[in-house]
Amino acid sequence: MAGAIRGGRESGQPGRRKPTQLYHVNILKQWKEGGNPPDPAPLGLVARREVPVVPVGEDLSPAQKQDLADLVLQHQDVFSELPGRTSVIQHDIRTAPGIKVRVPPYRVPEARRAAIQVEVARMLQLHVIEESRSAWSSPVVLVPKPDGSYRFCNDFRRLNEVSDFDAYPMPRVDDLIERLGPARYLTTLDLTKGYWQVPLTKSAREKTAFATPGGLFQYTVLPFGVHGAPATFQRMMDQVLRPHQAYAAAYIDDIIIHSDSWDVHIQQLRAVLGELRKAGLTANPAKCRLGLEETAYLGFQVGRGNVRPQESKVAAIRDWPRPTSKKQVKSFLGLVGYYQRFIPGFATLASPMNDLTRKTMPDRIRWTEAAEKAFESLRGALCSEPVLITPDFTSPLIVHTDASEVGLGGVLSQVRAGEEHPITYISRKLLPNERNYSTVEKEALAIKWSLTKLCYYLLGREFTLVTDHAPLKWMASAKDSNARVTRWFLALQDFRFRVDHRPGKEHANADALSRRDACLGWVPGDRRPHLTGKGCDNPLPTRGIRGVVVDGVYHFHPPVGSRACVGTRHNHRDATHLAGGRESRHKGGSRTHTRGNRKDQRRTSR
């Protein structure tokens, strides 16, 4: 496209130019007159401006794609590979008077000097930096990229130590994800070099000075690595999108717009783009995605009312090598922990690996069988394509809770199309003192902790509480006999719910969260019952066997699998009572074994 230039002369004074000249540049109109278009070079104008190419949803109709093409054309100044410069906010670096930070530059290998020179020249051209005479100085660090190039970074650690911290709150990722709900259309916008679009105050510029082999320079815009940068940027984005917060949100420079219909989506997208234009911000066209039904956002795949881990993150977890050091264990748990809402019983599953990160443990860990089982279980849980739904606050919510000897568990769910679907899983390990609680106290604690953890969803709404125990009735009738449970009972008064009691075998979802095995029991006594079934003719050993009662049949779990075990009538009755009796649930192996031996002794003494 070419620009048309129109000038004018002051009337009544032929040959004399006006003190100011007016030029009209139409970048949308093709040059149609005969001959070659005028050369704009002397005026410093660009002869042709390409319309940015922005990815759009593949499933859109031709009419919908045309709507987006028109919208991009109308806002092509917003879609740019060059960073803008906002007037909404400036970043300041506040330090105490009299403090100066001057760190000598790191020695740069000769082979990398050219990379520094190229990056400095590029930043000078973009007016991101300027030459400096500052008394402050921070070193340059080149971080290798996978493609063999280098990322230009600054080591601002000493500067961060002496500068004030900005406590502006960052949005919670789970809140942002759940706000999308059952939106039909999604658009994501990624700002171009987001930090570089925020100018620095004059007093802050000299504090960002850095030394290179080519001299001393300082930033004119917000650099990466300054600890107040995320807070300043988030403050700006919240201010820019405040009029549109019902359908647009941002996590630093990642913006998402969600709508229920196409016409509304176009209107809302136009409004947000207009707000970015007014703020002087630009979005990277190659990283934006317009009019999608499903998209990747903040590490999650969201759309159609569903949420699941992003495939690239799942692949990284699936291919993660077995950790050999405490640091590697922490890295793995950090990545998996980001997706713990998808993993039933995460706290219990991760417990053996968490134990390896204790301060008393050596840096070179001793990999145990329990740690290997936890490692494989966590990887397998995410590689099984778990899917959660986003909450619909116009429909009833359901909360399942349960407790075991090692942890607490809860599930928030909702009925869609006649089926119950999970919204999120929660779990945590019991503290050492909590493991001494009675069964009723643990079940009550699971309810109290789960409702408190999920209060964002539950407060002000009526919901159903599903449990395989009945501690709430006991809590209401025993308020004067247990101060601890009384406090928990009073803490639940802000919630409005009805209790649905389900037996443990109908309560498998939350039950699995609080323990790794379904039920742990032991076959006590010195009798030697025989196994029944194919290949089960050997007598049981005299010591206890780990197992579970299912539909009245006791099962134990040898390394190769599960088998049905039916002993003598007394033994079967005792095992069923000790492992699955209502008043003895979740007592654990050793305690149940001890109770069984005592029962045998009492029977023998009669």
- 77-122 pLDDT, tens digit per residue, is 999 999 999 999 999 999 999 999 999 999 888 888 899 999 999 9
Q: For the CA atoms of the chain, what is the radius of gyration?
A: 33
| Average per-residue pLDDT for the chain | 77
Contact status, residue 521 vs residue 592, Cβ threshold 8 Å = yes
For the purposes of burial, counting CB atoms within 10 Å of the CB of 244, is it exposed (0-12), middle (13-18) or buried (19 or more)?
middle
CA pair distance 287, 299, nearest whole angstrom: 15
CB 255 within 8 A of CB 189: yes
**pLDDT at position 480, please?**
52
Three-state SS at 6: coil
Q: How confident is the model at residue 541 (pLDDT cuts 50, 70, 90)?
A: very low
Token couple for 550: 């299912």
Q: In this structure, are residues 233 and 253 in contact, taking their beta carbons and an 8 Å threshold?
A: yes
Q: Report the residue count for the chain.
A: 606
Strand segments, DSSP code E, in 156-220 are 185-190, 210-212, 215-219
Q: Pick from 152, 153, 54, 141: which is nearest to 106 by CA?
A: 141
Domains along the chain with CATH numbers = 1-49 (no CATH), 55-298 (3.10.10.10), 308-378 (3.30.70), 388-514 (3.30.420.10), 521-605 (no CATH)
Of 397 and 522, the one with more pLDDT: 397
Residue with tokens 């330090």: 95
CA distances to 118, 254, 294, 562 from 283, in Å: 24, 10, 20, 58
Phi, psi (deg, nearest 5) at residue 147: -85, 5
Which two three-digit tokens encode residue 537? 């003719």
pLDDT over 90 at 554, yes or no: no
Count of C-beta atoms within a 10 Å radius of residue 464:
15
Within 10 angstroms of residue 485's Cβ, the number of other Cβ atoms is: 22
CA-angle at 73, arms to 69 and 76, nearest 5°: 125
Q: Give residue 206's identity as a one-letter amino acid code.
A: E
pLDDT at 308 over 60: yes
pLDDT in tens, 243-288: 999 999 999 999 999 999 999 999 999 999 999 999 999 999 999 9
Task: Please give the Cα distance from 404 to 545 (Å, whole number).
Answer: 19
Backbone angles phi, psi at 387, to 5 degrees: -130, 130
Q: H or E stretch including 465?
A: strand 462-467
Residue 240 scores a pLDDT above 90: yes
Write phi, then psi, for 189 (nearest 5 degrees).
Answer: -120, 130
Task: Give the number of C-alpha atoms closer than 13 A to the C-alpha of residue 293, restricted to the C-beta side.
Answer: 6
Alpha helical stretches, state H, 260-408: 262-279, 311-318, 326-337, 346-355, 369-383
503 vs 221, 399, 518, CA distance in Å? Answer: 62, 15, 13
Place of tokens 């197992």: 547
| 166 and 236 Cβ atoms separated by less than 8 Å | no
**In 3-state terms, the chain is what percent helix, strand and coil (to 5)?**
35, 20, 45
Distance CA 471, CA 489 (A): 10
Give the C-alpha distances (Å, rounded to integers) separating 540 from 537, 578, 597. 9, 18, 16
Query: Is residue 126's pLDDT more than 70?
Result: yes
pLDDT at position 25 is: 43
Q: Could you tell me the end-to-end alpha-carbon distance of the chain, in angstroms, rounded to an integer?
A: 104
- Comparing CA positions, the residue from 314, 316, 322, 303 lying closest to residue 343 is 314
Q: What pTM was computed for the model?
A: 0.62
